[in-house]
Structure 1
Amino acid sequence: MFSKTCEYAIRALIYVAQKSKDGSRIGIKDIASGIDSPEYFIAKILQDLSRKGFVQSAKGPNGGFYMDDKNLGLSVADIVREIDGDKLFSGCGLGLKECSENHPCPIHNEFKHIRQAIQIMLEGSKIQLFVENLDLKLTFLKK
């Protein structure tokens, strides 16, 4: 459903949020290991997300990535829009360019409800909630 870049971005932001809630900063090696991602790839993703304000970063010996209170309020939908665009929430289920209410594809009427349900679920899925569920061991990021 998401691109590989988007999957890694979501997992990395949740991981950073959980590991930095005590004020610490997390390095790329730890993040890559913690979410089973290639180090170079996740570094590139997080640098981009840092420039865009989705995660904070600091350089130096005590540097690394961390999240502030504003970042904890991000939804998965915010991340998806930034990485993959809006296609998941508005695109045609068959990938057609001209699909619309006035000119529907064969699955348009059924798919629009699925798209809407996904959007509502992802809008309500906040980073802070994932951190709380991880802390309670209700969910996991890595086996």
Structure 2
Amino acid sequence: MFSKTCEYAIRGVIFIAQKTADGSRIGIKEVAAGIDSPEHFIAKILQELSRKGIIQSQKGPTGGFYLDAQSRKHTLADIVHVIDGDQIFTGCGLGLKQCSETKPCPLHNEFKKIRDAISKLLRSTHLGEFSEQLEHKLVFLKR
């Protein structure tokens, strides 16, 4: 459903949200270890998310990645949009370019319900929502 890059992006941002809730910053090595990601790969992803304003970064000895109050208002859909585009929200279940309401593919009507439910979930889930569940080990970011 999501690209591998998008999966790492979502996991990374949720991890950063948890670890920086107290106003601190977190480095790439800790993020990579915390979500079982290759360090170089997650670094590129987080740099892109920082450029797009989803997360913040600060250079220097006290630097790292973090989420401020405004960033915590972003949704999972914002991450998906930056990394994978809007295909998951608008695309055909069979990957057909011509699929539409007037010219549907065999999966169109049922897939549209699933796509709309996923869209609703991603658009209503904010980045700061998982910190408490992660702290109490009710949910996990590592396999």
Q: TM-score, normalised by structure 2?
A: 0.96
Question: Does the 8 Å CA contact 2:23/2:68 hold for their aligned counterparts?
Answer: no
Partner of 2:106: 106
1:1-143 counterparts in 2 under 5 A?
A: 1-143=1-143
2: distance between equivalents of 1:118 and 1:75? Answer: 13
1: distance between equivalents of 2:74 and 2:63? Answer: 23
2: distance between equivalents of 1:23 and 1:117? Answer: 33
Question: Does the 8 Å CA contact 2:16/2:26 hold for their aligned counterparts?
Answer: yes
2: distance between equivalents of 1:111 and 1:25? Answer: 40
1: distance between equivalents of 2:104 and 2:129? Answer: 37
2: distance between equivalents of 1:2 and 1:35? Answer: 16
Q: TM-score, normalised by structure 1?
A: 0.96
Q: Deviations over 1:86-116 (max 9, x none)?
A: 1101100000000000000011111111111
Structure 1: 5+ residue runs without aligned partners? none
| Residue-pair matches, total | 143
Deviation (angstroms), 1:128: 1.2
Q: Deviations over 1:21-51 (max 9, x none)?
A: 1111100000000000000011111111111
Deviation (angstroms), 1:17: 0.8
Identity of aligned residues (%): 64
2: distance between equivalents of 1:88 and 1:107? Answer: 15
Q: Secondary structure at the match of 1:6?
A: helix
**Amino acid of the structure 1 residue aligned with 2:72:** L
Q: Secondary structure at the match of 2:70?
A: helix
Deviation (angstroms), 1:137: 2.4
1: distance between equivalents of 2:92 and 2:12? Answer: 29
